[in-house]
Structure 1
Amino acid sequence: MSSELQASFKQAYNNLELFPLVEKKETDNFRVDYGNDSIEKLIQYIEYSPNGDAKIVFTGHRGCGKSSLLAELSRQIEDNYFVVLFSIADSIEMSAVNHINILFAIALNLMSEAEARKVQIPKTTKDKLYGWFTDRTRTTEVELGGGIEVGFDLLKFLKTQLKADAKVREEIKQEFERKISELVERINEIAALIQFTTKKETIVIIDDLDKLDLATVQEIYKNNIKSLFQPNIRIIYTVPIAVMCNTYIWDIIKAESKNLIEVMPVIKIFHKGDNRLPDAQPRSEAINILCEILEKRISRDLIDKSAAEKIVIYSGGVLRELIRLANVCCLICLRLIKQKPGERIAINDQVIEQAIKEIRNELSLRLGKEEFKILKTTYENFEPDDVKQQEFLELLHGLYILEYRDDYTWYDVHPILIETLRRRGLIN
């Protein structure tokens, strides 16, 4: 019995690691119908681009489901467009991302997808493009080795170099710092060749730019947004939700994108202020969606129904936090199975309380007096004193504070941290 239960919890734990949902198999097994409004708006922006070069900005809290939604979007439009979806985290070391290597990654991924889908680009043109890539990265025959042919293997090699080799990234930066137009020309050339052959216009979707630290994001979008928006193709860029609070940068983004912006909201568990009331009832729509997400990953006999709803409430409506809390619960149950062989083990209130305590302690370690002051003010007023304050932006970026939307925007403290505020005597 214990071995079967252990296997079931291990499977649940593995299911909870499959997030975000990018591969079709994962989507078929775990996707829940969610975020359709955002998909429809993004498709509208794509289709209504008069010159086929719309630059669309997609934002929302980290972990709210943007990556899964973008993967679903790409599947829905792939019959009509040549879609290139890639994660900047898979292409470049996150601490080294800048506007130049973002554009270079676009060119590299366009060419790589063209090779993968066997787009019939004339050999002379293709060889010229490969020569351009190797020249600009100073790649030599010795580095390539005898076994690598000009083609898909070369592109894989260059993608590896861009990701792992700081020297290559520096060479690319030096090469194009004053020649952005040449890099943009190559992107346009590759996209034009793809369109000529496939009869489909190109759209590039860059995921995980929203996971960059705020200083890097500000440098990219404040000083170099015009360069990023130069290619004559449709591109979807992701940005952190905290950038919306920076009036100067956000006005630049709105102007350059022609206001083609979609904000993916957090699922609102309670209406504003309801969770401060005794016997408050969460929104049934939110409970149903998030419980369904859990049911697809955890067998019903492994989790009490009331426990599933409790996980939902403590997630704050953020999908990543839902998965994270359930994941920790599975690990606790796996430990209990070893400690109490033969007993019925399931995710119940006691297991959840232990998981919450572990996550609460981990979150609280990184908070100082100024951060606790902001959390207290936000809890009491549903907004901070200053949404542009750097400490508030960092708390928002790190999911310590969550943004919700009704007819207007309001904020609340991550539910797991509210008990910390109580114990410190900051709130009643």
Structure 2
Amino acid sequence: MSQDLLNSFQEAYSNLELFPLMERNEMERFRVEYGDDLIADLNQLVEDSPNGDGKIVFTGHRGCGKSTLLAEFSRQIQDKYFVVLFSIADKIEMSAVNHINILFAIAVNLMTEAEARRVDIPQSTKEALYKWFATRTRTEESNLQAEVSIGFDLLKLISSKLKADASVRDEIKQEFERKLSDLVARINEIAALIQAATKQNVLVIIDDLDKLDLGRVNEIYRDNIKALCQPNFQIIYTIPIAVLRETFISTIIATETNDQVVAMPVLKIFDKGKNRFLNAQPRPEATKILGEVLQKRIPSELIAAETAEKIVIYSGGVLRELIRISKECCRICLRTIRRNPSAKVIIDDKIFLQAINKIRNDFSIRLGKTDIDILQSVYEQFMPNDPKQPEFLDLLHGLYVLEYRTDETWYDVHPIIIESLRRQGAINVK
């Protein structure tokens, strides 16, 4: 076995982990200049908030790069604001997320960040806050120590209970369901203490709310958006793009946030309809960005240039899909090297087709007749017959359908799915 080749593909495989670029060393290694206009949009909304308590909703397809962009934005603005960025997935079991434990998680993370940065809060005040947290999470009294380090450990324990203990989450929900104002008052108290000590306004950014099931997201934002907007400091919430296609919810969100909704678009590989024609040329701006993403993760000697371009095209412009296809190609290559140690292995069109077939099968196995009909109408009209149909929203949420924005909003079928539709006779590919 060529150990060097195996090691090279193992490193590439590791580089293709589906993680947002949160740490500075990751940003330096892998970040591609992309989304600067969106960072400018977020910066304007935060900086120009009239009362310093604006709420922003940040949306986009899953895997389009929102988490990485929010991390970069938080880094750029952290000298001006006391920024608290956290993933809801790290704090609460995703199936159990509701508006009350989102607010409770804000309180915990504000206090945790204050401890980590050694914010000068009076000790007696901190002890009162620790006791408040401990009482509501059934944490043992022995954990209530005055020392800051113990306080930090207590907050870690409380965070773990919030994440793993369903009974604690239920108690929090029951306690604050009818007196939410008490929870909001405590959050505002913590934020005020931080602002007084640091002379910086608080900005909380909550990532991964867009990864919740649509039903749970609808409940949170449809029924409880007013509660999420009550804290008197700035918060950025994430939300699935499919939710904003539902008129009632999108109207509520726009009203409660004063139209402060920022959408991260999918990179448009082709102009509308151009990919329907043989030998259509992709847009160089998009292929340059996505091509650079690949170059930073896979050495050029491991992938054929023409195959890299095909991976870009079949990603549909979604970063997550670009990574997923590439990672599957690396998996195939690693298996091939181990089976045939003397083989000269490279990601070429043959490997690419194997990867695409695998992903296509994963996609297609979940499609029913209604889904096929919707995908057919999207392919033919660049728009579903009913954009509020639950099945369409599920397809949009699951990346079967991709949303593109130019001077209009239009939709297309994920490039990998098109072959499935053709095989079933639902469409004719030119």
1:404 aligns to what SS in structure 2?
Answer: strand
2:22 aligns to what SS in structure 1?
Answer: coil
1:224 aligns to what SS in structure 2?
Answer: helix
Matches within 5 A, 1:19-418: 19-141=19-141, 150-418=150-418
1:343 deviation in Å?
A: 2.2
AA in 2 matched with 1:400: Y
Larger mean CA deviation between 131-140 and 207-216 belongs to 131-140
**Unaligned stretches of 5+ in structure 1?**
none
1:19 deviation in Å?
A: 2.3
1:133 deviation in Å?
A: 0.5
AA in 1 matched with 2:271: H
1:20 deviation in Å?
A: 1.2
Q: Identity across aligned pairs (percent)?
A: 65
| Kept in 1: contact 2:267–2:317 (CA 8 A) | yes
Task: Find the aligned partners of 2:130 and 2:371 in 1 and give their Cα distance.
Answer: 50
| Kept in 1: contact 2:57–2:237 (CA 8 A) | yes
AA in 1 matched with 2:67: S
1:124 deviation in Å?
A: 0.4
Equivalent pairs counted in the alignment come to: 427
Task: Find the aligned partners of 2:341 and 2:381 in 1 and give their Cα distance.
Answer: 48
1:277 deviation in Å?
A: 0.8
Task: Find the aligned partners of 2:142 and 2:52 in 1 and give their Cα distance.
Answer: 41
Aligned to 2:5: 5
AA in 2 matched with 1:29: R
1:23 deviation in Å?
A: 1.2
Task: Find the aligned partners of 2:148 and 2:253 in 1 and give their Cα distance.
Answer: 41
AA in 1 matched with 2:231: P
| Kept in 1: contact 2:134–2:141 (CA 8 A) | no
| Kept in 1: contact 2:115–2:148 (CA 8 A) | no
AA in 1 matched with 2:51: N
Task: Find the aligned partners of 2:43 and 2:15 in 1 and give their Cα distance.
Answer: 30
Task: Find the aligned partners of 2:389 and 2:260 in 1 and give their Cα distance.
Answer: 26
1:141 deviation in Å?
A: 3.1
Task: Find the aligned partners of 2:75 and 2:179 in 1 and give their Cα distance.
Answer: 35
1:149 deviation in Å?
A: 6.8
1:25 deviation in Å?
A: 1.2
Task: Find the aligned partners of 1:327 and 1:215 in 2 and give their Cα distance.
Answer: 30
Task: Find the aligned partners of 1:384 and 1:144 in 2 and give their Cα distance.
Answer: 57
1:144 deviation in Å?
A: 8.3
1:339 deviation in Å?
A: 2.3
1:278 deviation in Å?
A: 1.3
| Kept in 1: contact 2:131–2:144 (CA 8 A) | no
**Unaligned stretches of 5+ in structure 2?**
none
1:115 deviation in Å?
A: 0.3
Task: Find the aligned partners of 2:162 and 2:201 in 1 and give their Cα distance.
Answer: 26
1:117-154 deviation digits (Å, cap 9, x = unpaired): 11111100000111111112222237889x99740000
1:86-110 deviation digits (Å, cap 9, x = unpaired): 0000000000000000000000000
Shift in CA distance, 229/176, structure 1 to aligned 2, threshold 3 Å? same
Task: Find the aligned partners of 1:140 and 1:302 in 2 and give their Cα distance.
Answer: 55
Task: Find the aligned partners of 1:150 and 1:12 in 2 and give their Cα distance.
Answer: 41
AA in 1 matched with 2:9: F
1:151 aligns to what SS in structure 2?
Answer: helix
| Kept in 2: contact 1:62–1:210 (CA 8 A) | yes
Q: Normalized against structure 1, the TM-score is what?
A: 0.98
1:33-75 deviation digits (Å, cap 9, x = unpaired): 0011111000000001111101000000000000000000000
| Kept in 2: contact 1:130–1:150 (CA 8 A) | no
